[in-house]
Amino acid sequence: MAEANEQVQQPEMASEQYIDILYRLQQANSEHDRLLALLGDLPEEVRDLEDEIEGLHTRGKKLQAELDERTLRMTNMRHEIKENEAKIKKYKGQLETASNDREYDSLNKEIEYLGLDIDLHNKQIKDAKARNEITTNELQSTQTHIDAKKVELEAKKEELDTLTASISKDLELLQQKADELKVQLPLRLQMGYERIRKNASDGRAVVPISRGACGGCWNRIPLQRTVDIQTSKKLIFCEYCGRIIVYDRVVEENESKISK
Ligand SMILES: [Zn+2]
């Protein structure tokens, strides 16, 4: 008989212990989540800045390539102008010794054509110079932009590193604590806890009962279940959100203080 009684009582004791472990496991996980949340948007901001700087570098390279290409074209055109000028000089010399009108006209036409070509090249060089001025300004402003973003990035990185360093030890300890607590639970409870936690938007699988409602979704809990929760005799799941509801003396005491 005594043996039978023990067998009946064991699950009840175990249930209370499990609830306590689940409660402490949730506290460790919630604190872990809270610390990670301290990093806020910093990791994303650092990544965004790195991407932006890379984009600006690409733009800078493109602008530099445009400048180089146009400068090379100007050099070639200046060279052609010089060649044309030399030809004109030569043809003008030949004009003096032209033996007939046909040769004379032909040389004149050639001189005129070379002159027009020089004019065209001079105009193109002028245009290219003007465009290079614009490109140079764009390149300079891109570089200024890069420098400013780099300063911003360094500041954000430093902030992130400092924050990460300040919480990394605590994160590690909390993870260790959570791991130690978790292995004390039967596998089905471990898995159930993780599943509920993953599905909960706030990462809480275990919530306190609060003014007769589920502390996760705020739906009312039937009175009989409230009693079960307060006595920790059974594991009670919220029938609306599926979270595990536990009795938290601290929460209850604070609330009775507020209602008074
Ligand atoms: Zn709920």
Q: What is the pLDDT of residues 146-167, one digit of tens each?
A: 999 999 999 999 999 999 999 9
Would you say the pTM of this structure is higher than 0.75?
A: no
What DSSP line would sit under 175-213, residue for residue? Answer: HHHHHHHHTTS-HHHHHHHHHHHHHSTTS-SEEEEETTE
Torsion angles phi and psi, residue 167, rounded to 5: -110, -10
Find the 167 Cα to ligand 1 centroid distance in Å.
31
Ligand 1 centroid distance, CA of 252 (Å): 17
Residues at Cβ < 5 Å from ligand 1 ion: 214, 216-217, 238, 240-241
Whether the predicted pLDDT of 195 surpasses 90: yes
Which tokens is 217 given? 């979704």
pLDDT range class, residue 6, cuts 50, 70, 90: very low
Ligand 1 center to 243 CA (angstroms): 6
Q: What distances in angstroms separate CA 74 from CA 70, 80, 198, 207, one per listed residue?
A: 6, 10, 65, 75
Model confidence band, residue 91 (pLDDT cutoffs 50, 70, 90): very high
Ligand 1 centroid from CA 46, angstroms = 37
Taken in order of first residue, the domains within the chain and their CATH numbers are 2-24+186-259 (1.10.287.1490), 42-180 (1.20.120)
pLDDT tens-digit readout, 115-139 = 999 999 999 999 999 999 999 999 9
CA of 143 to the centre of ligand 1 (A): 55
